[in-house]
Amino acid sequence: MVKTLSEQSHAGIHRLDTYVPGKPIADLKRELGLDSIIKLASNENPLGTAPAALAALADFDGALYRYPDGSGFEMKTRIAQRHGVDTTQITLGNGSDDILELTARVFLGPGKNTVVSQHAFAVYPIVARAVNADVREVPALDSSADMPLGHDLDGMLAAIDEHTGVVFMASPNNPTGTWLSNTALEAFLERVPAATVVVLDQAYIEYQTVEAAPDIVAWLSRFPNLIVTRTFSKIYGMAALRFGYGLSSPEVADYLNRVRAPFNVNSVAMHCAAAAIGDTDFIKRSIASNDIERASLSSQLQARGFDCLPSQANFVTFDCGRESRPVFDALLREGVIVRALAGYGMPQHLRVTVGQPEENQRFLSALDKVTG
C-alpha cells in the first residue's frame, strides 16, 4: 500500500504549531498603508546594534565566497575568556534557538519526553515535537503567587520520569518576564536526575538587575547535565545576524557539535560578535536605559489600571482585563506593533518591548485611544 506524504511524516510533526514571529513593519505598511510605525513586539534593543559590531561590519573583508571557520576558533576563544570556561565547553549556534534544536536532536526522540513550564518560550515544544518526543507542560504558578505565572519548580520536578530527556526553562522567562532566584535554581538542579539534561535559557540575563547572574562556571562543574544558552540578538542588538551559543560540560558540547550543521554560523555574524562581546559601554547603556524605561512603562500601565507581571527582561507583559486580540488589532491600526499572547495560553495579555521614551509614550497614547 502506497503511503501519503502525511503518513510518511512522523506523529510529532502533526502535533506541533509553526512559530509565529512578531509582525514585521513591512507587512503592516503593505497591509494598512501606514507610514509611521513602531515595533515593540520582538524584544529588540531599542538603542540599535552595538557600535563595535557596526564598525566590524564596515571593516569586513568581503570574502563572502569562502566558507566560515567551521570551528569558530576566534569566537569560542572570546566566549571562553568572557566566562572563564574552556573552549571545549562551547557550542556555537545560528541564534540560541539553534542550541535548543541541537539539544532536542541529541537527547530527545520517540519514547522520550521533555518537561516545560506553561507560558514558556514557544520554541521548546516545537524542537521537542520535531523529533517526535512528548511534551509535558507543567502549570505555571498561580497569579497570586510571589512570582505570578512563573515556573513551578516543584511541579516540574514531579513531572520528570525515567523517560525525560530534557527540561527546558528560562530565567528571565519569555513571554512573562518572570525569573528564578539563584537559590531556587541551584536547589532544582541538585534534585534533577543526572541523566536528564537541563537547559537554562538566559537570552535576557543581562537585563536582570534584582540579583547577580548565577555562577555558571561553578554550576557547570557541579552539574554535567546543565546547558546554558546565550544570545547576541537581544542586548547586543544583533538579531538580524543570528548568533548564539551554549555552555555545557565538554561531554555534552561534544554531543551537540556532532549533530551541529557544518558552518551553521556565518562569517559575518562571527566577525561582528567577536567585536560586540567587548563593547561593555553599549551594554551598560542598554541596561541603564532598560531599567529606567521598564519601570516607567510598568508604572504608567498600572496607573491606567492594567495589571503587569513582574519583569526582569526588556519587555513588560500586562493583562488587558479583556480578550487582548481586539486591542492588539486596534493598536496595529494606530501603527503600533506589540505581541498578543493567546498562543502562549494568555488570551488576555499583551507583551510590549521596552522602547525608547518616545516609543513608549506613543504606545501608551495609542493604548489610551483604543481602550478609552
Helices 357-371 and 324-333: angle between axes, nearest 10 degrees:
120
Q: Residue 110: is it exposed, middle or buried by C-beta count within 10 angstroms (0-12/13-18/19+)?
A: exposed
Quick check: helix, strand or coil at residue 144? coil
User: Rounded to an integer, what distance in angstroms lies between the CA atom of residue 222 and that of residue 187?
Assistant: 12
Quick check: helix, strand or coil at residue 199? strand
- List, in order, residues 6 or more apart from 158 with CB less than 8 Å away: 138
User: Rounded to an integer, what distance in angstroms lies between the CA atom of residue 359 and that of residue 249?
Assistant: 42
- HSE (side-chain half, CA atoms, 13 Å) at 84: 7
- List, in order, residues 6 or more apart from 7 with CB less than 8 Å away: none
Domain boundaries, the chain: 5-48+280-371, 51-276
Classified by CATH at the fold level, domain 51-276 comes out as: Aspartate Aminotransferase; domain 2 (3.40.640)
Burial of 311-342, coded b for 16+ CB within 10 Å and e otherwise, reads: bbbbbbbbbbeeebeebbeebbebbbbbbbbe
CATH class of 5-48+280-371: alpha beta
Q: What is the pTM of this model?
A: 0.94
Cα dist. 16→19, 95, 128, 131 in Å?
9, 21, 9, 10
- Give me the tens of pLDDT residue by residue for the chain, a chain 372 residues long: 667 867 777 777 777 677 677 778 888 888 888 889 999 999 999 999 999 999 999 999 878 999 999 999 999 999 999 999 999 999 999 999 999 999 999 999 999 999 999 999 999 999 999 999 999 999 999 999 999 999 999 999 999 999 999 999 999 999 999 999 999 999 999 999 999 999 999 999 999 998 888 889 899 999 999 999 999 999 999 999 999 999 999 999 999 999 999 999 999 999 999 999 999 999 999 999 999 999 999 999 999 999 999 999 999 999 999 999 999 999 999 999 999 999 999 999 999 999 999 999 999 999 999 998
